[in-house]
């Protein structure tokens, strides 16, 4: 540690935020030979969000290849992250964790978890790696502002809550977003970036449960389906997003990966334009994505020939199960709503299936309408969309263009991906790109 004029502490590399991105950048930079790395964290522990992640199992990356994974971040996010994901592909990330004593295993929907099923193992491995590589970590240390300095032995002055100041030669910001504020992420980095006049995309909550004001939706609370294709459509019927993932009905609306993946579009539009902007929006849920309309039509015709002429609510599951034995059938409660949407009732028999009723029932199965009115916001959002505009950052190093010795990594960047280990992949990979650049610039 050096002192400036004998008074101020001056450090080579300071990383602000010991979450996924900051911890990864710290241990990898130190592991690659950067000698003086100081990691500052405002909460009492490293990796608080890692501990809470994936239902405390931590879905730490994906089985997808680097380009496929990056493409899930949308056009600009995908283009940007391709570089970092090629530097640290998901498979290589798994190998690193294996070396750190955390073997991983693949799970359905391209997810990857620690073999132990414990998020704590991922967090502890990073904590050990940080210690083993000689990184100095200061917990309970909140940065309150960053100030560029000129004509000095350092490029930045970092001011701490309580009055301390550190001179920094190379500064890495990894303060995350502003969702789940209890984990330490309260959007602290945003005013710093705005003040520097860097391109900035206003934050909005993403990966949150979706609200619906419909009573029937609330009444289905607890019902779920593992394989639903959800389409988010506006009042004119235009499709705004599509995702095939599990769906869960809740007392407030719908949740589960499919709904949460689409929630960011709703939150951002409502935030930018007010509630009127999302009036008439709904999710259209295809409850039987592997059954075509024609196959469903044949199922409905076959119901009429069943012995004993059971009610539709009994007959349809019988024929579906005969023809598609592996299919997960909607619960009776969900079926009632499908019937209601088609103008039928739980008591309807096959005589009710006129040609037009059959058409309406097929459409209800293939696109049950769930009106939406917003999302549960930052309190329940797994990530924050928005942040430092990607054009301000070099994608191969995460170095901020036009700024002396400044890097921004992780969720503080304007990147957010769907559920499935992609957001950790993004945090770790941008951390890696930054770490290698720090090592490279140390040696030149």
Ligand X SMILES: Cc1cc2nc3c(=O)[nH]c(=O)nc-3n(C[C@H](O)[C@H](O)[C@H](O)COP(=O)(O)OP(=O)(O)OC[C@H]3O[C@@H](n4cnc5c(N)ncnc54)[C@H](O)[C@@H]3O)c2cc1C
Give the SS3 label for residue 373.
coil
Tell me the closest approach of the beta carbon of residue 249 to ligand X, in angstroms: 20
Query: Of the candidates 36, 188, 261, 286, which one interacts with ligand X according to CB under 6 A?
Result: 188
- Going by C-alpha positions, the residue among 347, 363, 346 that lies closest to residue 287 is 363
Nearer to ligand X, 90 or 374 (CB): 90
Which of the ranges 12-20, 129-137, 237-245, 396-404 carries the binding residues for ligand X, by CB under 6 A?
A: 12-20
Residues forming beta bridges with residue 167, ordered by sequence position: 10, 157
Q: Which two tokens stand for residue 30?
A: 């130190």
Nearer to ligand X, 174 or 278 (CB): 174
Name the strands in the sheet holding 111-114, side by side, starting at the edge strand that comes first in the sequence.
61-62, 111-114, 104-107
185 binds ligand X (CB under 6 A): yes
54 binds ligand X (CB under 6 A): yes
In order, the DSSP letters of 289-343 are: TTS-HHHHHHHHHHHTTSTT---HHHHHHHHHHHH-TTPPPPPHHHHHHHHHHTT
211 binds ligand X (CB under 6 A): no
* Cα 172 from Cα 90, distance rounded (Å): 23
Tell me the closest approach of the beta carbon of residue 411 to ligand X, in angstroms: 4
* Cα 214 from Cα 259, distance rounded (Å): 16
Closest residue to ligand X, based on beta-carbon distance: 19
58 binds ligand X (CB under 6 A): yes
Cβ 361 vs Cβ 299: under 8 Å: no
Tell me the closest approach of the beta carbon of residue 355 to ligand X, in angstroms: 47
Q: Residue 238 burial (CB < 10 Å; 0-12/13-18/19+)? A: exposed
Which of the ranges 49-57, 74-82, 303-311, 362-370 carries the binding residues for ligand X, by CB under 6 A?
A: 49-57
Tell me the closest approach of the beta carbon of residue 410 to ligand X, in angstroms: 2
Q: Which two tokens stand for residue 86?
A: 């090629």
How many CB atoms sit inside 10 A of residue 76's CB? 14
Q: Which two tokens stand for residue 181?
A: 């504020």
411 binds ligand X (CB under 6 A): yes
Strands 37-40 and 8-16: parallel
Nearer to ligand X, 248 or 291 (CB): 248
Binders of ligand X in range 13-32 (CB under 6 A): 16-22
Query: Of the candidates 10, 14, 15, 40, which one interacts with ligand X according to CB under 6 A?
Result: 40
Tell me the closest approach of the beta carbon of residue 45 to ligand X, in angstroms: 8
Nearer to ligand X, 383 or 398 (CB): 383
Which of the ranges 87-95, 183-191, 258-266, 315-323 carries the binding residues for ligand X, by CB under 6 A?
A: 183-191
253 binds ligand X (CB under 6 A): no
Tell me the closest approach of the beta carbon of residue 42 to ligand X, in angstroms: 4
Nearer to ligand X, 122 or 233 (CB): 122
Which run of H or of E encompasses 121? Answer: helix 119-132
* Cα 48 from Cα 139, distance rounded (Å): 12
Name the strands in the sheet holding 368-371, side by side, starting at the edge strand that comes first in the sequence.
368-371, 282-286, 224-233, 239-249, 253-255, 210-211, 374-375
Query: Of the candidates 212, 263, 269, 423, which one interacts with ligand X according to CB under 6 A?
Result: 423
Cα 367 versus chain centre, distance: 25
Query: Of the candidates 300, 427, 429, 433, which one interacts with ligand X according to CB under 6 A?
Result: 427
The runs of H, that is alpha helices, within 142-226 are 189-195, 215-219
Cα 364 versus chain centre, distance: 30
Tell me the closest approach of the beta carbon of residue 420 to ligand X, in angstroms: 7
Tell me the closest approach of the beta carbon of residue 404 to ligand X, in angstroms: 21
Nearer to ligand X, 51 or 439 (CB): 51
387 binds ligand X (CB under 6 A): no
Total binding residues toward ligand X, as defined by CB under 6 A: 37
49 binds ligand X (CB under 6 A): yes
- Going by C-alpha positions, the residue among 412, 318, 414 that lies closest to residue 77 is 414
Which of the ranges 150-158, 184-192, 273-281, 327-335 carries the binding residues for ligand X, by CB under 6 A?
A: 184-192
Contacts of 265 (CB under 8 A, 6+ apart): 232, 240, 241
- Going by C-alpha positions, the residue among 18, 7, 118, 5 that lies closest to residue 409 is 18
Give the SS3 label for residue 224.
strand
Binders of ligand X in range 131-170 (CB under 6 A): 142-143
Which of the ranges 31-39, 86-94, 178-186, 215-223 carries the binding residues for ligand X, by CB under 6 A?
A: 178-186
Binders of ligand X in range 289-328 (CB under 6 A): none
123 binds ligand X (CB under 6 A): no
Tell me the closest approach of the beta carbon of residue 54 to ligand X, in angstroms: 3
**Which residue ranges make up the site for ligand X (CB under 6 A)?**
16-22, 40-43, 48-49, 52-54, 58-59, 142-143, 174-176, 179-180, 184-185, 188, 382-383, 410-411, 421-424, 427
């Amino acid at each position: 540690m050096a002192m400036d004029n004998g008074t101020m502490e001056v450090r080579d590399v300071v990383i602000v935020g010991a979450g996924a991105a900051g911890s990864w950048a710290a241990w990898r930079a130190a592991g690659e030979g950067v000698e003086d790395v100081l990691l500052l964290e405002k909460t009492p522990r490293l990796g608080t969000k890692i501990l809470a992640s994936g239902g405390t199992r931590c879905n730490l990356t994906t089985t997808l290849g680097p380009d496929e994974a990056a493409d899930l971040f949308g056009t600009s996010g995908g283009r940007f992250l391709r570089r970092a994901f090629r530097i640290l592909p998901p498979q290589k990330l798994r190998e690193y964790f294996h070396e750190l004593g955390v073997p991983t295993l693949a799970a359905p929907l391209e997810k990857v978890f620690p073999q132990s099923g414990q998020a704590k193992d991922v967090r502890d491995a990073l904590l050990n790696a940080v210690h083993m590589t000689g990184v100095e970590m200061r917990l309970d240390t909140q940065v309150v502002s960053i100030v560029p300095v000129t004509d000095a032995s350092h490029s930045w002055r970092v001011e701490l809550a309580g009055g301390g100041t550190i001179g920094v030669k190379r500064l890495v910001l990894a303060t995350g977003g502003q969702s789940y504020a209890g984990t330490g992420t309260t959007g602290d980095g945003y005013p710093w970036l705005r003040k520097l006049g860097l391109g900035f995309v206003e934050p909005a909550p993403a990966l949150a449960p979706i609200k619906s004001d419909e009573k029937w939706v609330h009444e289905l609370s607890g019902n779920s389906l593992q394989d639903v294709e959800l389409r988010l459509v506006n009042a004119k019927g235009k499709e705004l997003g599509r995702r095939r993932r599990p769906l869960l009905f809740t007392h407030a609306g719908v949740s589960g990966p499919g709904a949460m993946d689409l929630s960011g579009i709703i939150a951002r539009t409502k935030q930018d334009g007010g509630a009127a902007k999302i009036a008439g929006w709904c999710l259209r849920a295809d409850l039987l994505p592997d059954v075509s309309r024609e196959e469903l039509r044949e199922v409905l015709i076959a119901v009429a020939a069943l012995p004993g002429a059971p009610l539709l609510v009994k007959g349809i599951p019988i024929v579906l199960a005969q023809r598609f034995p592996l299919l997960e059938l909607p619960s009776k409660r969900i079926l009632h709503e499908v019937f209601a949407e088609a103008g039928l009732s739980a008591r309807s028999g096959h005589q009710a299936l006129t040609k037009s009723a059959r058409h309406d029932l097929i459409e209800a199965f293939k696109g049950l309408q769930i009106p939406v009115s917003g999302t549960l916001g930052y309190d329940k959002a797994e990530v924050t969309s928005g942040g430092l505009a990607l054009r301000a950052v070099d994608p191969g190093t995460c170095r901020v263009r036009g700024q002396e010795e400044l890097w921004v990594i992780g969720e503080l960047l304007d990147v957010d991906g769907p559920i499935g280990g992609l957001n950790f992949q993004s945090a770790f990979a941008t951390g890696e790109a930054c770490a290698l650049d720090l090592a490279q610039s140390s040696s030149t």
